[in-house]
């Protein structure tokens, strides 16, 4: 064993805990693997799982109790009996530290394109937007916006960096939005009114960012809002009766034009839900306070 390998071996610390790994297959399907952590170092980890992950794949992994997490690349995957031993290496530590220090930015929302957008679309949209916000533009120049757009393009235009970004992006899409875990969405008439506007905000974003798939199912609302479907049935019924949403042929809910107008008229005064629709980098606090209960009427 050479010195480098011996050094890596001594840097490893045995662990025994459950680990969740997520990644995106080449055809676009998001996969999630429940694995067991075997050992850990500053630069990577070894896991044991029931399914293989192709070496070279970018995945998103987090072990909160060990302070380990982020985007990693699969360096090896070897069969061991009926299971697989998977070796992960964290991506560049400086990039990881910078990413952890900043709030995760939805680059697809920033560019207002679908997560499945092809490279030609990314190039075309970026070219238009970056010209608009370039600091040399005397009318619409915006340095901060220009920098954000450049970061988004750098990440999404490179296949390897996009795969790494998508691994984290899709994991975040499978987790409930923290905003809906607040007590303001749980009880009483006030909670019901906030849920109604929350549903409309989610559908507004979906229609704007992914017009080819503008709907969300009741199951997706249940996951995103961390609420049982039984609590959402009344909400959906009311919004349909008011004409703010309607159902597609496959049962997904989509926002109507009337619903869009309602959201745009009311969301600036809603302190909590405002951040769901604000542009990346925009001030997270609206100028007014939360809209009173009974507003979605």
Q: Is residue 286 part of a domain?
A: no
Check pLDDT > 60 for residue 6.
no
Of the residues 99, 122, 150, the one at which a domain ends: 99
Quick: pLDDT tens for 139-151.
888 888 888 898 8
**117-122 — which CB contacts under 8 Å span 24+ positions?**
119/157, 122/153, 122/156, 122/157
Check pLDDT > 50 for residue 257.
yes
- Indicate the average pLDDT of the chain: 80
Q: Which residue did the predictor score with more confidence, 14 or 28?
A: 14
pLDDT at 287: 43
Q: Is residue 289 part of a domain?
A: no
The predicted model gives 261-278 an average pLDDT of: 74
Quote the pTM value: 0.54
Lowest mean pLDDT among 41-55, 66-80, 94-108, 118-132: 94-108
The predicted model gives 84-101 an average pLDDT of: 65
Q: Is residue 282 part of a domain?
A: no
The verdict on 207 and 244 lying in the same domain is yes
What percentage of residues in the chain have a pLDDT greater than 90?
25
Quick: pLDDT tens for 159-213.
888 888 888 787 776 667 777 877 778 777 888 888 999 999 999 988 887 888 8
Q: Is residue 283 part of a domain?
A: no
Of the residues 56, 83, 99, the one at which a domain ends: 99
The CATH number covering residue 268 comes to 1.10.10.10
* Per-residue confidence band for 86, with pLDDT thresholds at 50, 70 and 90: very high
The predicted model gives 216-224 an average pLDDT of: 86
Q: Which of 121-125, 171-175, 288-292, 293-297 has the highest mean pLDDT?
A: 121-125
Angle (deg, nearest 10), helices 119-133 and 143-157: 160
pLDDT at 98: 45
The verdict on 86 and 145 lying in the same domain is no
The verdict on 137 and 152 lying in the same domain is yes
Q: Is residue 67 part of a domain?
A: yes
Lowest mean pLDDT among 104-118, 249-263, 282-296: 282-296
Nearest to 194 by CA among 183, 204, 208, 205: 183
The predicted model gives 104-109 an average pLDDT of: 86
Of the residues 144, 173, 202, the one at which a domain ends: 173
pLDDT at 69: 66
**Which spans in the chain are helix H?**
3-11, 93-101, 107-111, 119-133, 143-157, 159-173, 188-209, 218-225, 229-242, 257-266, 274-277
Report the distance separating Cα 240 and Cα 235, nearest Å: 9
The predicted model gives 39-49 an average pLDDT of: 88
The CATH number covering residue 164 comes to 1.10.287.110
pLDDT at 29: 65
Domain with 138 in it: 103-173
Q: How many domains does the structure of the chain reveal?
A: 3
pLDDT at 234: 93
* Per-residue confidence band for 76, with pLDDT thresholds at 50, 70 and 90: very high
The verdict on 247 and 190 lying in the same domain is yes
Q: Is residue 12 part of a domain?
A: yes
Q: Is residue 251 part of a domain?
A: yes
217: left (phi over 0), alpha (psi -120 to 50) or beta: beta
Q: Which residue did the predictor score with more confidence, 44 or 78?
A: 78
Q: Which residue did the predictor score with more confidence, 278 or 236?
A: 236
pLDDT at 67: 65
Q: Which residue did the predictor score with more confidence, 102 or 265?
A: 265
pLDDT at 89: 87
């Amino acid at each position: 064993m050479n010195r480098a390998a011996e050094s890596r071996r001594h840097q490893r610390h045995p662990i025994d805990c459950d680990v969740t790994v997520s990644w995106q297959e080449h055809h676009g399907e998001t996969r999630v693997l429940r694995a067991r952590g075997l050992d850990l170092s500053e630069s990577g980890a070894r896991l044991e799982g029931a399914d293989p992950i192709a070496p070279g794949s970018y995945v998103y992994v987090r072990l909160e109790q060990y302070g380990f997490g982020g985007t990693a690349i699969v360096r090896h995957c070897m069969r061991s009996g009926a299971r697989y031993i998977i070796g992960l290496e964290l991506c560049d530590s400086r990039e990881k530290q910078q990413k952890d220090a900043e709030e995760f930015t939805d680059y697809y929302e920033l560019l207002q394109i679908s997560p499945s957008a092809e490279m030609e679309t990314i190039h075309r949209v970026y070219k238009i937007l970056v010209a608009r916000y370039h600091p040399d533009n005397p009318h619409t120049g915006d340095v901060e916006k220009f920098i954000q757009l450049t970061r988004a393009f750098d990440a999404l235009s490179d296949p390897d960096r996009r795969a790494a970004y998508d691994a984290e992006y899709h994991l975040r899409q499978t987790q409930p939005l923290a905003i809906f875990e607040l007590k303001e969405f749980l009880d009483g008439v006030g909670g019901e009114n906030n849920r109604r506007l929350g549903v409309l905000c989610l559908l507004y974003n979906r229609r704007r960012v992914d017009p080819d798939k503008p709907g969300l199912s009741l199951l997706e609302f249940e996951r995103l809002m961390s609420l049982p479907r039984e609590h959402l049935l009344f909400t959906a019924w009311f919004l349909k009766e008011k004409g703010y949403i309607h159902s597609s042929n496959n049962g997904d809910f989509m926002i109507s034009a009337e619903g869009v107008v309602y959201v745009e008229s009311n969301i600036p005064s809603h302190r909590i839900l405002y951040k769901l629709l604000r542009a990346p980098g925009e001030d997270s606090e609206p100028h007014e306070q939360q809209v009173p209960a009974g507003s979605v009427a």
